[in-house]
């Protein structure tokens, strides 16, 4: 009962954080919108950001939105196949239906409690495919590590291709140069963190025999070995070029989802690929922040990126909502619920 209450509290807290951030973004966008109305001589009672948002959404070209949803599902199929390659490398033959279905449940769960989906995804696959949880979870961790690598590459590319406008924004809003100067000015901070981590790992390794001789320690070591095998499964993948290809195309599809959505909305349809890359990078960072689906944080950072290219605050807010509600809400909930319904039926028929 206590675990259930704790789970409910976490859901409420994360949703509260997301909704609070979204309302804060709306509040500041609304103030800016009313200030713009005042400059244009529009009466306050005739100036409503909510009405503008409704009007904008009614004129969206939804054909482009459906294309972004197709790109989203293609990326998930590739993610499931990449995951299959890792699991096959350590001796398991999971069904693509279970892999794709649990990936979709992963996204659905993250809308409730951010990052909980990875654990649920591994647990569901472990149940349906009789794979030890620690090995399944290890491959999920590797999956996310490659996502982090790809995101880092995209940020580096964005920084160089985005030009001076991106560098100026980072310096003005997060004082990047000051932070880098702080790190280089206090190297002992980084060194202390590194040494602490190293000594902890070294201590465990040095005493591994003693730890293994206890019943609890032996159990933990076996679990860690399974987890370690799962993480390093990529080393045994039979087709490394195909694995890398999947990793790259998944993120190309993510980028296309954001870029193609430009064409669904008049104020953003003129933006080029570089602008799409910048907006995509900022928005991706917003999704990483632990709110449900990036609620609020995605809106804020997407609007900030669009401001670099002169897109008005209210138009930027509308565009962020177009992408957020079509992918993060509609697609994740729709396909996630379908997966929850289909997976038990599919696996029951197999048993």
Q: How do residues 317-345 score in pLDDT, each as one tens digit?
A: 889 888 888 888 888 888 988 998 899 98
More confident residue, 230 or 114: 114
Q: Which residues contact 121 (CB under 8 A, 6 or more apart)?
A: 102, 103, 105, 106, 109, 140
Residues 6+ apart with CB under 8 A from 250: 75, 78, 79, 82, 150
d(CA 118, CA 114): 9
Phi-psi region of 296 (alpha: psi -120 to 50; beta: other; left: phi over 0): left
The mean per-residue pLDDT over the stretch 161-189 comes to 60
Half-sphere exposure of 343 (CA within 13 A, CB side): 23
Q: Residue 226: pLDDT above 90? A: no
- In this predicted structure, what is the pLDDT of residue 59? 86
Class of residue 79 by CB neighbours under 10 A (exposed 0-12, middle 13-18, buried 19+) = buried
> Do residues 277 and 255 make contact, with C-beta atoms less than 8 angstroms apart?
yes
| CA atoms of 295 and 25, how far apart (whole Å) | 10
Whole-model pTM?
Answer: 0.76
DSSP structure class, residue 291? S
What's the confidence (pLDDT) of residue 175?
47
Contacts 24+ apart (CB under 8 A), 70-77: 71/253, 71/256, 71/257, 71/260, 72/253, 72/257, 72/327, 72/331, 73/331, 73/335, 74/253, 75/249, 75/250, 75/253, 75/254, 75/257, 76/100, 76/103, 76/104, 76/335
Q: Is the pLDDT of residue 261 over 90?
A: yes
Would you state the pLDDT for residue 304?
83
Mean pLDDT of 93-104: 94
Answer for the pair 263, 174: CB distance below 8 angstroms, yes or no. no
Angle at 265 between CA 263 and CA 266, to 5 degrees: 95
Q: Which of 230-239, 251-260, 337-346 has the highest mean pLDDT?
A: 251-260
What pLDDT, on the 0 to 100 scale, is given for residue 176? 46
């Amino acid at each position: 009962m206590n675990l259930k209450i704790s789970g409910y509290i976490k859901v409420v807290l994360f949703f509260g954080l997301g909704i609070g951030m979204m309302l804060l973004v709306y509040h500041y966008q609304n103030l800016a919108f009313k200030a713009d109305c005042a400059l244009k001589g529009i009466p306050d009672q005739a100036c409503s950001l909510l009405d503008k948002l409704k009007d904008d959404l009614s004129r969206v070209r939804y054909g482009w939105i459906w294309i972004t949803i197709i790109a989203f599902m293609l990326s998930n199929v590739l993610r499931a196949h990449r995951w299959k390659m890792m699991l096959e490398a350590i001796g398991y033959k999971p069904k693509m239906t279970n892999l794709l279905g649990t990936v979709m449940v992963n996204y659905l769960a993250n809308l409730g409690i951010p990052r909980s989906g990875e654990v649920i995804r591994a647990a569901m696959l472990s149940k349906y495919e009789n794979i030890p949880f620690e090995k399944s979870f290890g491959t999920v961790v590797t999956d996310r590590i490659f996502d982090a690598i790809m995101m880092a590459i995209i940020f580096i590319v964005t920084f160089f291709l985005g030009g001076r406008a991106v560098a100026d924004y980072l310096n003005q809003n997060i004082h990047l140069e000051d932070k880098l100067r702080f790190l280089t000015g206090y190297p002992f901070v980084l060194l202390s963190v590194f040494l602490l981590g190293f000594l902890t790992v070294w201590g465990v390794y040095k005493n591994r025999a003693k730890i293994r001789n206890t019943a609890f320690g032996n159990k933990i070591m076996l679990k860690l070995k399974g987890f370690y095998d799962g993480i390093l499964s990529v080393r045994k993948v039979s087709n490394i070029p195909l694995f890398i290809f999947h990793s790259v195309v998944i993120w190309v599809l993510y980028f296309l989802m954001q870029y193609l959505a430009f064409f669904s909305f008049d104020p953003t349809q003129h933006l080029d690929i570089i602008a799409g890359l910048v907006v995509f990078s900022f928005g991706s960072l917003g999704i990483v922040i632990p709110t449900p689906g990036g609620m609020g944080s995605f809106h804020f950072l997407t609007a900030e990126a669009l401001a670099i290219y002169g897109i008005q605050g209210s138009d930027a807010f509308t565009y962020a909502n177009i992408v957020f509600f079509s992918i993060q809400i509609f697609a994740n909930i729709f396909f996630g619920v379908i997966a929850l319904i289909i997976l038990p039926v599919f696996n029951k028929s197999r048993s």
